[in-house]
Structure 1
Amino acid sequence: MALGWWGRQPVAVLATAVVVSAAPILSPAAGDRLIGDTLPVEAADALDVITPVPSSLGADPDRVALGRMLFSDTRLSRRGDRACISCHDIRSNGASAVARNLTTDGTPVPRNTPTAFNAALSFRLGWAGDIPTLHDQAELALTRPEFLGGSWPRILDTVHGDPVLAALFQAAYGHAADREAVIDAINSFERSLLTPDSRFDRWLRGDVHAITQAERAGYALFRGIGCAACHQGANVGGNLFEKVGIFVTIPNRSAEVLRVPSLRNVAVTAPYFDDGGVATLPEAVRLMARAQLGRELTASQTASIVAFLGTLTGSFEGRPLTASRASGTAQPGDTP
């Protein structure tokens, strides 16, 4: 969530993006295979702006295990009926299948729930990028009424009153659980929610058979038309802010500046956008090309980019991520 490598170098990232978006000025030699009449496949392969998801961010295993327990513990919530996993279903895609989850009072939250996977690689958190760190995110998730709505006295009483949790905190931190230790344990687990080993990452590491020629062509088009100006780095996004609706205002919404979302696992994290208003990935790709790049994609171009995006689906604990259940939320008391 805020500990990613890109947090201290947004200017450098943007400079890279400018080079990528300038791809159409290249002059391909006769016989080059063009992608979307902008960039030769071979030339695009030399301009990789995406880096593989790391296998670990070095979180302490004991604290990770403790944070995992807290992530699914409904006793920490205001009514004892929900946990982090209720909206961030890490058994599937780390998010949910609904446009907007419900608050503790039963009303929809303001924005779509983003996936918890790879969030630690983003430089800021939340759709608006208004949450600076993982620490801040955990505090808000635990205590705000629209999320778990818990209170620190109740949270700490719950932990201290559970012999198993109390003993694990003592072993992991050398003292009884306090506010900072609870937050750190949850953050440690969140830093472990990485999805390495996508087919695209295997290709970046040298496995030439990990993706197809058609998927390579989609990647070349993705960069050739300028998508990579905002979506790059290990998280394929999540490292800068951008105005939504640069060329065309998106229907039913005003222009605003949001944090560019990660495209990791995007093929399994529908619905899309901060309002959850777009149901399918092809529709999302076409809309973003129109609004952000001023381009109308053909059906074949859209399919090509969608094919590439499908290669970004990674694995957690050896299991490829999948779309969330239709219900959109985990059941109270479920464990990851």
Structure 2
Amino acid sequence: MSADGRFSCSSCHDIRTNGIDSETKHAVTPRTLNTLTVLNAALSYRLTWEGQYRSLYEQAEASITDPANMHSSVEEAVRRLRSDIVLNALFRAAYGRQIDRANLLDALVTFEQSLLTPGSRFDRWLEGDASALSVVELEGYRTFKALGCSACHQGVNAGANFITRQGIFSPLVLSGPSRVRVPSLRNVEATPPYFHDGSAATLEDAVRRMATAQLDRTLTDEQVRSIVAYLKTLTGNYRGKPVARGTQ
């Protein structure tokens, strides 16, 4: 649906793996923002790193029109999609009419609302399965809470609930917005690199840097290992299969 005909939503959000692409940055024009996963986006209170959009409808339209993304318009996307006989027939079956602005955006949003990944081992533990987490993973969860990580990464999406300042005690990244929407930690093992500039290649690096910049804490190797072990329990399932790390 991009203006040059080269990009679709799935070009940056590959739901066959982790809901992001294999590149660190946005695909259409050079930017400093790391691609966020589309998985569980429906659970976020706002969308994008800076939280500009309050609804999936706003975000879907913005992705089509933003010069840094598809650089097109909803009207142009409708015109192109109407030329696809099979797709137009599917829209008629679902909506009772050919593709138009309203049902195109509704179809995108309805699909995004289905991209949930329940059934992580941590979910199972919360539901009462005491065997779902190991001793090390449980210790990591306790450390995660004791240090204060859960003050920002909480709720059903393990984050994505509000906007906060990055680099409270020391710089976290070298560029980008000073205030960002807290990302979800669901499937975090499968969605490297980390931070809005993609500068942390591993969870270990991300955990250490977050502790220093946001909490003014220097973690031991054991603390890092246990927290990372806990974070790996947040990997859920999509269409019956565990969310997998994309090709880097």
Q: What is the SS of the residue equivalent to 1:258?
A: strand
- 2:88 & 2:172 partners in 1: Cα distance? 50
- 1:206 & 1:254 partners in 2: Cα distance? 41
- 1:84 & 1:255 partners in 2: Cα distance? 24
Q: Aligned residue for 2:119?
A: 197
Q: 1:254 to 1:143 in 2, by over 3 A?
A: closer
In 1, are the aligned partners of 2:32 and 2:176 still within 8 Å (CA)? Answer: no
In 2, are the aligned partners of 1:249 and 1:255 still within 8 Å (CA)? Answer: no
Q: CA RMSD of the aligned region, Å?
A: 1.5
In 2, are the aligned partners of 1:97 and 1:323 still within 8 Å (CA)? Answer: no
Q: Aligned residue for 1:330?
A: none
- 1:131 & 1:110 partners in 2: Cα distance? 19
Q: Which has the larger radius of gyration?
A: 1
Q: 1:255 to 1:82 in 2, by over 3 A?
A: closer
Q: What is the SS of the residue equivalent to 2:130?
A: coil
- Which residue identity lines up with residue 206 of structure 1 in the other structure? G
- Which residue identity lines up with residue 199 of structure 1 in the other structure? R
Q: What is the SS of the residue equivalent to 2:180?
A: strand
In 2, are the aligned partners of 1:97 and 1:271 still within 8 Å (CA)? Answer: no
| Aligned pair partner of 1:93 in 4, 18, 29 | 18
* TM-score normalised per structure 2: 0.95
In 2, are the aligned partners of 1:98 and 1:276 still within 8 Å (CA)? Answer: no
- Which residue identity lines up with residue 80 of structure 1 in the other structure? G
- 1:272 & 1:78 partners in 2: Cα distance? 29
Q: 1:235 to 1:158 in 2, by over 3 A?
A: same
- Which residue identity lines up with residue 62 of structure 2 in the other structure? L
Matches within 5 A, 1:206-285: 206-250=128-172, 252-253=174-175, 256-285=178-207
In 1, are the aligned partners of 2:173 and 2:199 still within 8 Å (CA)? Answer: no
1:297, CA displacement in angstroms? Answer: 0.4
In 1, are the aligned partners of 2:167 and 2:173 still within 8 Å (CA)? Answer: no
> More relative contact order in 1 or in 2 (CA 8 Å, sep 6+)?
1
In 1, are the aligned partners of 2:140 and 2:229 still within 8 Å (CA)? Answer: yes
Identity %: 48
| Aligned pair partner of 1:188 in 98, 110, 113 | 110
- 1:215 & 1:297 partners in 2: Cα distance? 16
| Aligned pair partner of 2:72 in 132, 150, 160 | 150
| Aligned pair partner of 2:27 in 72, 80, 102 | 102
- 1:279 & 1:92 partners in 2: Cα distance? 18
* TM-score normalised per structure 1: 0.71
1:128 equivalenced with 2:50 (yes/no):
yes
- 1:318 & 1:251 partners in 2: Cα distance? 36
Q: Which runs of 5+ in 2 are unaligned?
A: none
- 2:177 & 2:85 partners in 1: Cα distance? 51
- Which residue identity lines up with residue 225 of structure 1 in the other structure? L
